[in-house]
Structure 1
Amino acid sequence: MAKATTTIEKRVPTQAEQEAEALQEVMSAVAKNKDALLTFLDVLGELHESGALDMAHGALKSRHQIGVIGMNQLNKSGAQNMIKNGMNTMQFLAQLDPNKLQTMLGAVASGVDNAVQPDAERPQKKPGLFDLFKQMRDPQVTSSIGMMLNFLRGMGAAKGRE
């Protein structure tokens, strides 16, 4: 008859066996991801050559001091307003139609160019009241005034909704 089992001996791998198994897993992962690792090493080499890796390393080593400086800058007067203004500016830009903005900014750039270098046919003198009334017949001037009036109308309508 067979003898009854009273104890179970669990096989515990030695430290050397555990290290050999871990090394085998790492080598298997390296073999599977060879292309990705080579690309990563190339990028890492470029970062090292450009000095960006040294800067990142220094920033990580000095992260506590950098954090203290950053917090001190945020605690200065006006920093919170600057952050809020930046966020409001981003929200404003997100609301604008890029094509309309492109048209408007193109017109502004043309106006700036004309203000700095007026046409040769128009002498640059201080306009009188009669000259201003004569300019009202110019289609380009009336178009610009109409655009500005529409802008002001829209701005006033939005202000009235507040």
Structure 2
Amino acid sequence: MAKPISLIRKKLLTEEERQEATISKLKQQLAESNEALEKSLSILRELHDSGLLEAAESMLKAKAKIAEITLGQISRPEITNLINNGMAAAGALTSLEPEMTTKLMNGLTAGIQEAQSPDENRISMFSLMKSLRDPDVNRAVRFGLRFLKGLGRELGSDGKQD
């Protein structure tokens, strides 16, 4: 009968054998990823030729200084107000119907184009009153009056009287 195995010896690789195994593994990975490596090298070459690689390297080296400047700029009251106003405007826009927003923007564009057309005629009170008969003008005036009413109601909702 054979003797039972009581001791297992683990083969330890020498430093040279480990390096050979690593190099062999890298060679295999290079052969498998040849196309991707060629594209990566091409991109790196283009970045280097255009100077962007050097700029990116400089930015990475100066990342602490860039972060300090960025944080200093962001914490300015004007930027904080800009961010807060942008968030408030985005919140307001989300409560509007997209169709109405599109219609309003198209109307603004058409109104600006109409306003740019040359017209040297003076506007008298009579011509102003007569223009209210135009359905387009009347529609815009009604919209404007309802807009002003809603704006005034909201402005007065803070409890302060003018």
TM-score range normalised by the length of the shorter chain? 0.7 to 0.9
Determine whether 1:70 maps to 2:70.
Answer: yes
User: CA–CA distance in 2 between the matches of 1:44 and 1:9?
Assistant: 48
Quote the offset at 1:50 in angstroms: 2.4
Per-residue CA distance 1:110-129 (angstroms, 9 max, x = gap): 2112222245xxx432x232
Is the partner of 1:145 in helix, strand or coil?
A: helix
Unaligned runs of 5+ in 1: none
Q: Which residue does 1:144 correspond to in 2?
A: 140
Q: Which residue does 2:109 correspond to in 1?
A: 109
Q: CA RMSD in A?
A: 3.1
Aligned partners of 1:74 and 1:80 also within 8 Å: yes
Determine whether 1:133 maps to 2:129.
Answer: yes
> 1:1-162 maps to which residues of 2 (within 5 A)?
8-118=8-118, 123-125=120-122, 127-152=123-148
Decide whether aligned partners of structure 1 residues 148 and 27 sit closer, same or farther in structure 2, where only a CA change above 3 A counts: farther
**Aligned-partner residue type, residue 104 of structure 1:** L
Per-residue CA distance 1:107-153 (angstroms, 9 max, x = gap): 2122112222245xxx432x232221111011221122233345456
**Aligned-partner residue type, residue 33 of structure 1:** S
Per-residue CA distance 1:54-82 (angstroms, 9 max, x = gap): 22111101011111111221232222222
Q: Percent identity between the aligned chains?
A: 31
Unaligned runs of 5+ in 2: none
Aligned partners of 1:118 and 1:124 also within 8 Å: no
Normalised to the residue count of structure 1, the TM-score between the two structures is 0.75
